Amino acid sequence: MRSRWFALLISLVAASHTLRAQPLTASGAPAELRLYRISNNCIRLMLAPVSYEPATGDNPSLAAAAYTIPLARMRSIDREKVQRIGDLTVHITPSPLTIRISNKQQKLVQQLVFENDGSVSFLLNGNEKVLGMGEGGPKPERGLNWRLQNVQFDRRGRIDSMQPRWQGDAYGSRNPVAMLTGTSGWGIFVAAPWVLVDLRQETKGKFIPAQVSVTAQPQNEKNQGQNMGKGLPPADKIIPGLFDVFVFDAQDPSSMMRDFSRITGPAALPPKWALGYMQSHRTLEEDAQMSGIVDTFRQKKIPIDAVIYLGTGFTPSGWNKTQPSFEFNPEVFKNPPSKFFDAVHGNNVKVILHMVPWDRDRLPGLHGSIPAKPGETKDASHIENYWKQHEPLVKMGVDGFWPDEGDWFNLHERIKRHQLYYQGMLLSQPGKRPWSLQRNGYPGIAQWGGWVWSGDTESSWKTLEAQIAVGINYSLSIAPFWGSDIGGFYPNETYSGEMYVRWHQFASFNASFRSHGRSWWLHLPWGWGREAMGPAENRAIPPRSAMNNFAVEPVIKQYNELRYRLMPYTYTLAWQARETGMPMMRALWLHYPKDEKAAGTGDQFLWGKDIMVAPVYEKEAQVRKLYLPAGIWYDWWTDKTVTGGTTIAKQVDLATMPLYIRAGAILPVDTIRQYTAEPVRAALTIKIYTGTDGEFVLYEDDGESTDYLRGKYGLTKFTWNEKQKRLTIESPKTNTAAPGARVFDIEWIGYGKKERVRYDGKRSVVSLQ
């Protein structure tokens, strides 16, 4: 009897708690809070209508790895609830619904509060910087000095409408995303809904759900500076009341980047040639001119891997009939196009063609897969049908595409467009890596080989400076492969050979190494060493006195050669992007998270972990000030050492962009090649920057096939022990693509020693004598 009364008492107490429990709601409807484990340091929180169950494919920015079984679900809450997920502890309290996430050191990572006004607030800590948020920034306010306004590296201090748009009158196109990184050690990615980000307060930020509109009108270059539509998610994909967010413990920034890559899809490796130099062309005269420029590169021994041709309509005379068209321009191609392709390919140069959406009126909703899956509606908007129109070009010999415009596509369609050019090319050329360069991007494009350039920028020193911050934030929050138009797209009276050189130097450490812009002869390596400027497409162009600058070409050649010498390192960075999520262009904070000075530095960056790049962005600069974190650093140009933890002043001339290599770095340095696949007999040089222990894993594969997806690649690990003065070489992965016996030229920087080593794939130890 007593036990029965006791059970009744317990049930009455439970019932009283249930009666007092606060039901969760979303947009006025019953809702459920769901907690998911992504990794030990990342969780997914979802407040959603009770009837909504997420499924793979609902949000194309999320890969299958983002969809797991909830570890906890609740529809009401009456008191604090605690849930352990991986190394994180989640505290949930009602009135208002508040979610606090702490790490295993019991340090608060982040706090989300569902405010009564419908916004969701989060914490901002002290003087930390907030980075990421996609590409570009709010449009500069017009005024006397509007071009001199700083683009935001640190996003704090203003509200951002997060409007995706084409923007030609500032620092590049807008590709915003609510992926924020706080340098005190947190990250937040709001996967849904589309939100405005308010960072005006000192201690609290807010996500404000946007009023979604999908109305947009396609435009082209002639409509420069105008809003090209909001490009928000499609209305039929919006779930009223859904708030879907990922929270990262970023005390170790590399773990955040790994988790972000996992939930948005690991990056597809580009073909190796895509990391070489690309020369873009605008107004064309004839096919003989086009192949003749390639001949000139080879004659001058300026390395190049690809040429790109703009379409007619975007320029008076392009590769095709007026865009959109898939037909070659008979006014340009005096001979059958096949002869042109034979000539260019005979010079070991790839051909890339500029494209715009074929039928804008019938393609408002790109959808589907290639090949089409069972049940997909293959209408005019299906990406396989659209791709079919590209196939004759691929059969002709086109190696890649430059899909322009598309700013009116909503966010999901933008991802689909990257998928279109990835899966489409695989359909036409099975086993061969696709490549395309696009203006629109969003998390999720990396798995489709997504490359983005910053759009139609103005040729100005301030724009060049801004591109550094733009590239860093893009790399933190969208995908690892980015670049900008070398020299800027819109030339003006301030454009000069000096500016072109400085931009080229910067771009030699971007994923996309491409020269493009109006008055395109001035974007050729030898363009400034002549009297004629070529077709002038702007009213404001450089004065004729700026021509005959013969100092430009040798510097351009020098940095092209440097790009190719460092290709083994750069190609390994592309592999690291896939394996670890770490971008190629890295904020200093990623490797020096405890260094407040490094975290706030947005005008220099790390290329991988080992190379500090400090672009020169001031006219007639003689000194470039830059910050070096603690440790020993080597000047790339002189091999002299500098003690870090301070700001230094590096003397520069036109040929010098400051590059510093950290002690402990191991750099593979190739001989100069004229194209990435050029056969050479010279041994690969391994530079060891002594002073502390170091390690580097060299990645190698065939550079063009998708065999890497099946494990056909080679890894060679180099480990330097400073105390023992011993180098160990070994292959941690054995497979069919591992290189056979080879020769390395080992060079110990700091000790002035060199030694040739024969390596047969078996563990080898080299002691410094």
Q: What is the mean pLDDT of the chain?
A: 90
Q: Counting beta carbons within 10 angstroms of the beta carbon of residue 721, is it exposed (0 to 12), middle (13 to 18) or buried (19 or more)?
A: middle
Domain range spanning residue 653? 585-658
User: Does 291 share its domain with 330?
Assistant: yes
User: Does 191 share its domain with 321?
Assistant: no
SS3 (DSSP) at 417: helix
* The domain boundary residue, chosen from 643, 658, 673: 658
User: Does 389 share its domain with 333?
Assistant: yes
DSSP string, 103-157: -TT--EEEEEEE-TTS-EEEE--TT--EEEEEE--SPPPPSTTGGGSPPPSS-TT
* CATH number (domain holding residue 688): 2.60.40.1180
* CATH number (domain holding residue 59): 2.60.40.1760
Residue 674's pLDDT is: 98
Q: Is the pLDDT of residue 671 over 60?
A: yes
User: Does 734 share its domain with 701?
Assistant: yes
pLDDT in tens, 289-308: 999 999 999 999 999 999 99
Reduced to 3 DSSP states, what percent helix, strand and coil does the chain have, rounded to the nearest 5? 25, 30, 50
In a domain, 668, yes or no: no
pLDDT in tens, 407-421: 888 888 999 999 999
Residue (of 174, 138, 168) closest to 156 by Cα position: 138
Task: State the pLDDT confidence band at 466, using cuts at 50, 70 and 90.
Answer: very high
Q: What is the mean pLDDT of residues 343-358?
A: 95
C-alpha to C-alpha distance for 615 and 47, rounded to whole angstroms: 44
User: Does 253 share its domain with 318?
Assistant: no
Task: State the pLDDT confidence band at 495, using cuts at 50, 70 and 90.
Answer: very high
In a domain, 4, yes or no: no
pLDDT in tens, 155-209: 999 999 888 876 655 578 889 999 999 999 999 999 999 999 999 999 999 999 9
Residue 693's pLDDT is: 98
Residue 146's pLDDT is: 41
Higher pLDDT pick, 149 / 754: 754
C-alpha to C-alpha distance for 625 and 612, rounded to whole angstroms: 13
pTM: 0.94
User: Does 535 share its domain with 513?
Assistant: yes
Q: What is the mean pLDDT of residues 507-522?
A: 96
* The domain boundary residue, chosen from 234, 264, 294: 264
DSSP for residue 283: S
Distances (CA, A) of 173 to 323, 409, 698, 758: 21, 14, 35, 49
Residue 167's pLDDT is: 63
SS3 (DSSP) at 544: helix
What are 538's two structure tokens?
A: 């702007």
In a domain, 671, yes or no: no
* The domain boundary residue, chosen from 210, 240, 264: 264
C-alpha to C-alpha distance for 589 and 409, rounded to whole angstroms: 33
User: Does 276 share its domain with 296?
Assistant: yes
The answer to whether the peptide bond before residue 371 is cis (omega within 30 degrees of 0) is: yes
User: Does 254 share its domain with 311?
Assistant: no
User: Does 610 share its domain with 697?
Assistant: no
User: Does 217 share its domain with 316?
Assistant: no
Residue 530's pLDDT is: 84
What is the count of structural domains for the chain?
Answer: 4
User: Does 606 share its domain with 690?
Assistant: no
In a domain, 579, yes or no: no
User: Does 292 share its domain with 339?
Assistant: yes
Task: State the pLDDT confidence band at 226, using cuts at 50, 70 and 90.
Answer: very low
What are 396's two structure tokens?
A: 């002709």
In a domain, 1, yes or no: no
Count of Cβ atoms closer than 10 Å to residue 742 Cβ? 13
In a domain, 519, yes or no: yes
Residue (of 346, 343, 352, 347) closest to 300 by Cα position: 347
pLDDT in tens, 382-413: 999 999 999 999 999 999 999 998 888 888 89
Task: State the pLDDT confidence band at 231, using cuts at 50, 70 and 90.
Answer: low
C-alpha to C-alpha distance for 194 and 209, rounded to whole angstroms: 6
C-alpha to C-alpha distance for 357 and 438, rounded to whole angstroms: 12
In a domain, 723, yes or no: yes
The answer to whether the peptide bond before residue 535 is cis (omega within 30 degrees of 0) is: no
In a domain, 84, yes or no: yes
